[in-house]
Structure 1
Amino acid sequence: MAWPDRHRLLPFLAWLPRQTPASVRRDLLVGLSGAILALPQSIAYALIAGLPAEYGLYAAIVPVLIACLWGSSWHLICGPTAAISIVLYASVSPMAVTGSDDYITLILLLTFIAGVFQWLLGMLRFGALVNFVSHSVVLGFTLGAAVVIALGQLPNLMGLDLDSQATALKTLQSLLEHAGEVDLPSLLLGLGTLLVGLAIKLLLPRWPALLISLAVASALAWLLPSVFGHVARVPAFVGQLPPLSPLPLLDLELILKLLPSAVAVGMLGLVTSLSIARSLSIRSEQLIDANQEIRAQGLSNIAGAFCSGYLSSGSFTRSGLSYDAGARSPLAGVFSALWVTLFALAGARLIAHIPIAAMAGSILLICWGLVDHRAIRALLRVSRPEFLVMSLTFVATLLLELQTAIYAGVLASLFFYLKRTSQPRVQQSREGEADVLRVYGSIFFGASHYLQVRLQRCQAQEVVIDARQINFIDYSGVEMLHQEARRLRRQDRSLTLRRARPQVVEELYKLEGPGECPIRFEE
């Protein structure tokens, strides 16, 4: 459903005037719950992306505000995510020292490029393009990203200072080589954080497991300095509003180098966001404008890049919390961003008490939550080809660069789709002296050869195609049917299309008019 014209530039005017004091109070409380969940997640995701901790908070402020105000979903909450963070790290870490000023600039420039790409897709109304990244690709990539992230955090969990590796296998090899150097206090803190978080998730699922487990680990490390005093802490930062970030927009060579990764991660972000928005809209009975949502995602990343917020997309956990807690409007996301801003200003020093090993344990907890066990089992039961696509994407994520794995998954998904559509279902029956072929599917360039072979196998005097289920025919299909009709005519046989749709008949007459067309038509 498209917004009215007067609301295209400022879409929040469509719902903001309808808010009541009661709904605003409700959204304020929901926003506080979302901020409590977002705080530890955002810090963890920034560390996954190779950024200082504060950049995770910055990414949960301006991008969230823009996406909520300019989007179409009532419940979609954006921000930094684990999968996108690991792709950004894999894309930029070979180009600059992790955490350096140059590294941060590259991350923000990539965010800007991805935002422009997303915004252009929305402006050109190419919202359907994201459908080419199937759910099985997202499942496989997310599963692979969870494994890659977990392996990357094991050195921090064990108190090891190891160089980052290009692939998951190399990371595992490096860990095995240094297994004898594990720092036991760091390992205890990390595993303790993970176990406490898992226990809270299982016993008290509505409680903020990440925040509580990190608070317990930080308090333990502070109370027992003789045991945990040497364990590294997350670097502190000065509390401030997200600073403005100048970007090297005139460096064309650098932009072209980042473009492939920006397109891949931009598509991944859109697919994730739209999947979440659509699933929640079904439950809330809301209509989603996909193109408006895509434009909002693009605007949020463009604006975020200039305000130190790295690339964001829809968050499964925060959006689900927004719906389950009863959010009445996108104001819940706006309030969430404002609560995070308040913490970034007033509570920044608390971050310096968090042990890095405990943060690694919390990231492992996030990785466990990324794995959608139910969807994977359902995919195996419903569609073996789609399960194979998911498996190929998962393996590619472990063996290849992550942005390349996304493309590999998309290509595998397209391959199986084209394979399926190139062999439309055909039911053959006999009616007197005629062979009747009922075709279920369009006749396009990929399917015309298959159908031609089926026609050539027919031996009856009259060959009839029941065309009720044929919605589309392209030039290759038209040429093939004319060619087969002429072949049958030379043999004193005929080709008849029965109950063809008007648009199909019109396309067939474009090659040869009604008086010359070798194909017969009947109702």
Structure 2
Amino acid sequence: MHWPARLKLFPFLAWLPAQTGRSVRRDFLVGLGGAVLALPQSIAYALIAGLPAEYGLYAAVVPVLVACLWGSSWHLICGPTAAISVVLFTSVSPLAVPGSADYVELVLLLTFLAGLFQWLLGLLRFGSLVNFVSHSVVVGFSAGAAVVIALGQLPYLLGIDLPSQATGYDSLVHLLALLPRFNPACLAVAAISLGSSLVIRKLWPRAPALLVGIVLGSLVVWALPTLFASVPRVAAFSGSLPPFSPLSLDPATVLRLLPTAVACGMLGLVTSLSISRTLASRSQQMLNANQEVRAQGLSNMVGAWFSGYLSAGSFTRSGLNLQSGASSPLAGVFSALLVAVFALCGAGLIAHIPLPSMAASILLICWGLIDFAGIRALYRVSRSEFVVMLLTLAATLLLELQTAIYAGVLASLFFYLKRTSQPRVQQWVDGDEEILRLEGSIFFGACHFVQLRLQRSTARRVVIEGQHMNFIDYAGVTMLHQEARRLRGLGRSLCLRNAKAQIVEELLKLEGPDQCPIEFQPPL
């Protein structure tokens, strides 16, 4: 096998042989910090997704290994995320009881389908399709998902037994009705964990604040068993490496899960590529977007067979990777291996974690999901993008989350088409010529707007300055031909000046150079 083909199949061969003893030691220490950060987050995200706690650890092992070894980014670390976890929960919980064997099987099947969709996008070099999910949609969805997640964790924080609801609005309504039944002991444990995490984050920003808060809450419950006897704990599990999970590819189930799988796959790719591009700009790395998309898909396809549910880029862990000086994706590999060691040896400790402490930690994660600076920037820079963000936020609270993603994308496309359908036109008169400088493209959406501007002209000669036209489609070609013939019938003319070669070529295809009613400057 030739070296280029080998690199395409095993891209990690491009950087792995170049590692030195010093770089490996540095990456190991960075990976250790990433594993410490991943432990509480992964468990919390699994609970958000309605899965047993151990599945959060499993999702931080095999998918992370595959994404690091086959990806393009030096610093991107994947794993379970809050937004995807809540989408999985709201999508799959109506089909099976959360935490049950059937529920786990459906989540893993959905993960495989989402990974297959991502891998096919990368294989066909369609990675740019994720750009249709605009930044405003991501900001609005993240803020809405944070609120939905927080509402879903408040029952654990308050010690209230509340069944899962389809939307954030339904959760709020039912929670307010049951609020008088709250458990003071649960609230006290949550307050201890939340307060200690905030203090640690303030005094030592690089310390694992979430882990410290969970440990302190657990110690308080352990030290005062009589006072906190009513506080529920995380369900115990036997320590093991990620087990093999055969998937049942039932056609009816696949078709039922496919829309959610596509939505989750797109959301995961947008998150991962946004993070990897941000990190690449800081580290001056050249990023291969299609390779990264393929790696994300492969990690979820393989991870699903080893009990890893849907993963995507984690900004906190990836940012820690960059700030700590990771020299290669080997830091992510070490992080995954260390999480696997904990899943094998430290499972008994997890059974001592109080659910209110986990809920308090998740509330802190939710607060970090809301991009307040990005929301303010959207309001200052683009009111239309701000409206898209608000619509996505509202849809996230009022609709099922996968529907909210589609609603946000459609809103973005609507405003984009509205903006491009009215290209900017500068107009002035020079003698017997009326000149229209068109800044945009003439496609089917803009044809009516441009035609109206041409029909308002009363000059003997109408000139379109075309140096800023990027492309023209069949509808635009037909419209310009019709307007040129209309003006010729009135003893007037239509001229296209300084147009790009491909624009002129498209216009001449309809009737040929001899029959074209449009004049060109410079002449053909």
Q: Which residue of 1 aligns with 2:51?
A: 51
Q: Which residue of 1 aligns with 2:497?
A: 498
Give the Cα separation in 2 of the matches to 1:49 and 1:15.
Answer: 35
Please state how far the C-alpha of 1:448 moved relative to its aligned partner.
Answer: 1.1
Q: Which residue of 1 aligns with 2:20?
A: 20
Answer with 197-206 or 464-473: which moved more.
197-206
The alignment partner of 1:437 has SS state of strand
Q: Which residue of 2 aligns with 1:376?
A: 375
Alignment of 1:204-223 (within 5 A): 204-223=204-223
Answer with 75-84 or 232-241: which moved more.
232-241
Please state how far the C-alpha of 1:21 moved relative to its aligned partner.
Answer: 1.0
Q: Which residue of 2 aligns with 1:277?
A: 276
Which one-letter code corresponds to 2:355 in the other structure?
I
Q: Which residue of 2 aligns with 1:444?
A: 443
Give the Cα separation in 2 of the matches to 1:174 and 1:508.
Answer: 62
The alignment partner of 1:521 has SS state of strand
Q: Which residue of 1 aligns with 2:11?
A: 11
The alignment partner of 1:227 has SS state of coil
The alignment partner of 2:76 has SS state of coil
The alignment partner of 2:496 has SS state of strand
Please state how far the C-alpha of 1:82 moved relative to its aligned partner.
Answer: 0.1
Which one-letter code corresponds to 1:179 in the other structure?
L
Q: Which residue of 2 aligns with 1:99?
A: 99
Conserved 8 A contact 2:114-2:262: yes
Which one-letter code corresponds to 1:245 in the other structure?
S
Structure 2 length as normaliser, TM-score? Answer: 0.98
Which one-letter code corresponds to 1:402 in the other structure?
L
Q: Which residue of 2 aligns with 1:154?
A: 154
Deviations 1:190-228 (A, max 9, x none): 122112212222222111111111011111111111211
Task: Tell me, yes or no, if structure 1 residue 138 matches structure 2 residue 138.
Answer: yes
Which one-letter code corresponds to 1:438 in the other structure?
R
Please state how far the C-alpha of 1:177 moved relative to its aligned partner.
Answer: 1.6
Please state how far the C-alpha of 1:153 moved relative to its aligned partner.
Answer: 0.5
Deviations 1:332-356 (A, max 9, x none): 1101000101100111110011001
Alignment of 1:106-145 (within 5 A): 106-145=106-145
Give the Cα separation in 1 of the matches to 2:167 and 2:6.
Answer: 50
Give the Cα separation in 1 of the matches to 2:44 and 2:460.
Answer: 72
Q: Which residue of 1 aligns with 2:257?
A: 258
Conserved 8 A contact 2:192-2:216: no
Q: Which residue of 1 aligns with 2:337?
A: 338
Alignment of 1:59-458 (within 5 A): 59-249=59-249, 251-458=250-457
Conserved 8 A contact 2:484-2:517: yes
Conserved 8 A contact 2:493-2:518: yes
Which one-letter code corresponds to 1:142 in the other structure?
S
The alignment partner of 2:51 has SS state of coil
Give the Cα separation in 2 of the matches to 1:333 and 1:4.
Answer: 25
Give the Cα separation in 2 of the matches to 1:101 and 1:328.
Answer: 40
Give the Cα separation in 2 of the matches to 1:310 and 1:112.
Answer: 9
The alignment partner of 2:507 has SS state of helix
Give the Cα separation in 2 of the matches to 1:183 and 1:4.
Answer: 62
Give the Cα separation in 2 of the matches to 1:372 and 1:21.
Answer: 39
Which one-letter code corresponds to 1:459 in the other structure?
T
Deviations 1:219-254 (A, max 9, x none): 1111111211321110111111100001111x1010
The alignment partner of 2:459 has SS state of coil
Give the Cα separation in 2 of the matches to 1:69 and 1:328.
Answer: 14
Which one-letter code corresponds to 1:248 in the other structure?
S
Q: Which residue of 2 aligns with 1:40?
A: 40
The alignment partner of 1:226 has SS state of coil
Which one-letter code corresponds to 2:218 in the other structure?
S
Give the Cα separation in 1 of the matches to 2:198 and 2:424.
Answer: 48
Which one-letter code corresponds to 2:495 in the other structure?
T
Conserved 8 A contact 2:157-2:356: yes
The alignment partner of 1:368 has SS state of helix
Equivalent residues, number: 520
Which one-letter code corresponds to 1:447 in the other structure?
A
Answer with 511-520 or 303-312: which moved more.
511-520
Please state how far the C-alpha of 1:513 moved relative to its aligned partner.
Answer: 1.1
Give the Cα separation in 2 of the matches to 1:161 and 1:230.
Answer: 13
Which one-letter code corresponds to 1:181 in the other structure?
R
Please state how far the C-alpha of 1:358 moved relative to its aligned partner.
Answer: 0.7
Which one-letter code corresponds to 1:265 in the other structure?
C
Give the Cα separation in 2 of the matches to 1:410 and 1:20.
Answer: 45
Give the Cα separation in 1 of the matches to 2:477 and 2:191.
Answer: 65
Give the Cα separation in 1 of the matches to 2:140 and 2:4.
Answer: 38
Which one-letter code corresponds to 1:16 in the other structure?
L
Please state how far the C-alpha of 1:442 moved relative to its aligned partner.
Answer: 1.1
Runs of 4+ more than 4 Å apart: none
Please state how far the C-alpha of 1:5 moved relative to its aligned partner.
Answer: 3.9
Which one-letter code corresponds to 2:134 in the other structure?
S
Which one-letter code corresponds to 2:27 in the other structure?
D
Please state how far the C-alpha of 1:260 moved relative to its aligned partner.
Answer: 0.3
Deviations 1:236-282 (A, max 9, x none): 11111100001111x10100000000000100000000000001100
Give the Cα separation in 1 of the matches to 2:40 and 2:120.
Answer: 32
Give the Cα separation in 2 of the matches to 1:39 and 1:27.
Answer: 18
Which one-letter code corresponds to 2:210 in the other structure?
L
Structure 2, unaligned runs of 5 or more: none
Which one-letter code corresponds to 1:485 in the other structure?
A
Which one-letter code corresponds to 1:440 in the other structure?
E
Give the Cα separation in 2 of the matches to 1:433 and 1:5.
Answer: 64
The alignment partner of 2:9 has SS state of coil
Which one-letter code corresponds to 1:359 in the other structure?
M
Answer with 173-182 or 474-483: which moved more.
173-182
Deviations 1:307-332 (A, max 9, x none): 00000000010011100111101001
Please state how far the C-alpha of 1:4 moved relative to its aligned partner.
Answer: 4.3
Please state how far the C-alpha of 1:170 moved relative to its aligned partner.
Answer: 1.7
The alignment partner of 2:235 has SS state of coil
Please state how far the C-alpha of 1:363 moved relative to its aligned partner.
Answer: 0.6
Give the Cα separation in 2 of the matches to 1:15 and 1:451.
Answer: 53
The alignment partner of 2:435 has SS state of strand
